[in-house]
Structure 1
Amino acid sequence: MGQTPSAPRMPAACAHVLVAGPVRNCSATIARETARLAHALSPFASVSFLLAESDSTDDSVATLQRLAHERPGFAFVSLGDLRHDHPIRCDRIAVCRNYYQDIIRTSPAYRHIDYIIEADMDGLNTSLDAQGVLTCWETDIDWGGITANQRLCYYDIWALRHRDWSPVDCWAAYRAIVDVVGPRQALEVCVSSKQIRLPLDAGLIEVDSSFGGFAIYKREAYLSGRFVGLDENGAEVNEHIAFHDDLRAHGHRLYINPAMINAEYTDHTYYKTRIGHLRTELMWNLREAADRLRCRDGLESIVKSLKRVMG
């Protein structure tokens, strides 16, 4: 491991931050997303945006061009159709993240940036506010990266690595046992049981990797890693794992901040709400009945219809 960085954390009011993220088919939502994030980050000296668009089938590029003209500090790159050469989703996302990371590293326009924020731009960060963000500065812990929490429960288990909480790839673990215990129990053991509530006052939780849709990095930490969406066998992996491995190898430490809430819950944890639990139970029961009756394909269409009706 390299030497632990000693650069002090710059006060928020003096710091310049850049929000970066990949986008696709964002025409209807991107103006609202940038405005929401800019408001939550208003305590900083300046807020810029650098997004990477690819594979859109709507008028995302035209909308991004309009935003670039209307909003100071807003920029984007369009990488066109990546699906042909990069058919696996996390590989495409890694290409986008690495592309704008190289711009941040080399462009004079971003030399003044002190912190880089990786953010999902698809409507996840609806509960993020300045008070929650500023709790990252109310600590003496020297973090290189710090990631968000969700109020109902922490959801992003695929990007999570913690020695005791979630030490392995949750979906690889799921695939290893699903044929033995069935999909319902495999999902519970490998994913659902790890989506736990983190009390807001729990204090920072050190992890090997995490994301949760919103992460703040010191500049030197961010530029020490690369995103990788495929393993050595060409299988899909969460692109944050390799990135955070690199950060920690350079001596940077990563934490979840339970007090920095960016969402109440997500599509991945809706099942933990009262209504979501009832819906999930119904769907599982229908699927299990269909398997017993050997009519799974027919009932899957009914399940999809019920999901639409029940929200």
Structure 2
Amino acid sequence: MSTGKVLLVGTVSNVASVLENELKRVLSALTYFSEVDVFLVESDSSDSTLQTLNSLSKTIPNFSYVTLGTLSPDIPNRIERLRYCRNTYVNHIRGEYSKKNLSYVIVADLDGMNSKISEIGVSSCFQDEIVWDACFSNQLGGYSDIYALRCKDWQDGDCFAELHNKRTAFMNESNKHFFFKNLRSLLNRNKIRKSTIYSKMRRIPKSLPWIQVDSAFGGFGIYKSAIFFDHNYDSWDRTGALVSEHVDLHLKIPDSKLYINPALINAYWNTYNVNRFILIRYTRFLIRKSSIIRKILKLMASNSYR
């Protein structure tokens, strides 16, 4: 067991159906630490997330939260909202703690991304001789958080900027062949997303050595607390390019020692890495496009409870 206080933080929105179980699972994994506080930042929920948070605050020791209300009218971009919410827990850290009395900050997604997190995985971060500033989780079905990833010869830049550029280049070319435009667009959309995102969701066996990165996340990260006293999620790019808020934090850390720990498993499959399979991608595409399929699935679900 590690001594010293740690703080679990995260942002939540519309997670009423999963929050309690997810939080308890993460806290169970954190029994490796002797003392754990929890601070969550809520915004833009249209379900009963606030009621769930209020209930949890009465049953979980050292649990607190803040709600920022509806941010979307003033901050319509999702990444910018996340940046604002994450900076709220950074301000909380700086206001309520000091570098001396807070050993680690654990950042976790609590929307179903940590179904396999465990104390064994957490303790593996402290049983290696590697000196680190932060270490991040692994998903055995394929590392899924390509947007937050920066690693030489794996993901050097922004995957969505690359996706946009490839799509634009393809559409400019396809405009010269109008008759085949729609058909070629359908056939190439999957090819482009596979090359820029899904092919990079590498499966990392838990026995492999740690992987040094410039940025990562994957739904669960353990940080030396000093990072949040010295840095926040504000954009570091003066050109105004929009990237993951995790990238903005990590690239500001001088001489950073950031790693993916293959043994820190927080999931096998999740809503992102299952998209590596073409059948899943096309099924989701058809569901999004077909109101008839959605109605059939809704009817089947309702009949299953009768």
Structure-2-length-normalised TM-score: 0.84
Q: 2:226 aligns with which of 205, 220, 224?
A: 220
Q: 1:85 to 1:256 in 2, by over 3 A?
A: same
* Cα pair 2:141 2:268 within 8 Å, conserved: yes
- 1:291 corresponding residue in structure 2: none
Q: 1:54 aligns with which of 43, 46, 60?
A: 43
Q: 1:88 to 1:27 in 2, by over 3 A?
A: same
Tell whether 2:57 aligns with 1:68. yes
Q: Deviations over 1:182-215 (max 9, x none)?
A: 3222111111111111121111100000000000
Tell whether 2:18 aligns with 1:29. yes
- 1:142 corresponding residue in structure 2: 131
Gaps spanning 5+ residues in structure 2: where? 171-187, 302-306
Question: What amino acid does structure 1 have at the position aligned with 2:21?
Answer: R
- 1:202 corresponding residue in structure 2: 208
Q: Deviations over 1:125-165 (max 9, x none)?
A: 00000001111111111100000000111010000001110
Q: Deviations over 1:268-297 (max 9, x none)?
A: 11134xxx543435667x79xxxxxxxxx9
Matches within 5 A, 1:1-311: 12-108=1-97, 112-181=101-170, 182-228=188-234, 232=238, 236-247=242-253, 249=254, 251-272=255-276, 276-281=277-282, 300-301=290-291
Helix, strand or coil at the partner of 2:31? coil
Displacement after TM superposition at 1:108 (Å): 4.5
Displacement after TM superposition at 1:243 (Å): 0.1
Q: Hey, what's the Cα distance between the residues in 2 that align with 1:187 and 1:173? A: 10
Q: Hey, what's the Cα distance between the residues in 2 that align with 1:221 and 1:57? A: 33
* Cα pair 2:32 2:122 within 8 Å, conserved: no
Question: What amino acid does structure 2 have at the position aligned with 1:278?
Answer: L
Displacement after TM superposition at 1:103 (Å): 1.0
Displacement after TM superposition at 1:118 (Å): 0.7
Question: What amino acid does structure 1 have at the position aligned with 2:12?
Answer: V
- 2:184 corresponding residue in structure 1: none
* Cα pair 1:39 1:129 within 8 Å, conserved: yes
* Cα pair 1:25 1:56 within 8 Å, conserved: yes
Matched-pair identity in %: 34
Gaps spanning 5+ residues in structure 1: where? 1-11, 288-296
* Cα pair 2:212 2:258 within 8 Å, conserved: yes
Q: Hey, what's the Cα distance between the residues in 1 that align with 2:61 and 2:213? A: 35
Q: Hey, what's the Cα distance between the residues in 1 that align with 2:245 and 2:191? A: 26
Question: What amino acid does structure 1 have at the position aligned with 2:275?
Answer: Y
Displacement after TM superposition at 1:306 (Å): 8.2
How many residues align? The count is 284
* Cα pair 1:228 1:240 within 8 Å, conserved: no
* Cα pair 1:114 1:218 within 8 Å, conserved: yes
* Cα pair 1:15 1:113 within 8 Å, conserved: yes
Q: 1:151 to 1:26 in 2, by over 3 A?
A: same
Displacement after TM superposition at 1:72 (Å): 0.8
208-217 vs 174-183, which moves further: 174-183
CA RMSD of aligned residues (A): 2.7
Q: 1:174 to 1:303 in 2, by over 3 A?
A: farther
* Cα pair 2:214 2:256 within 8 Å, conserved: no
* Cα pair 2:236 2:248 within 8 Å, conserved: no
Question: What amino acid does structure 2 have at the position aligned with 1:203?
Answer: P
Q: 1:93 to 1:230 in 2, by over 3 A?
A: farther
* Cα pair 2:30 2:119 within 8 Å, conserved: yes
Q: Hey, what's the Cα distance between the residues in 2 that align with 1:308 and 1:230? A: 44
- 1:294 corresponding residue in structure 2: none
Displacement after TM superposition at 1:305 (Å): 6.2
Question: What amino acid does structure 1 have at the position aligned with 2:221?
Answer: A
Question: What amino acid does structure 2 have at the position aligned with 1:205?
Answer: I
* Cα pair 1:178 1:186 within 8 Å, conserved: yes
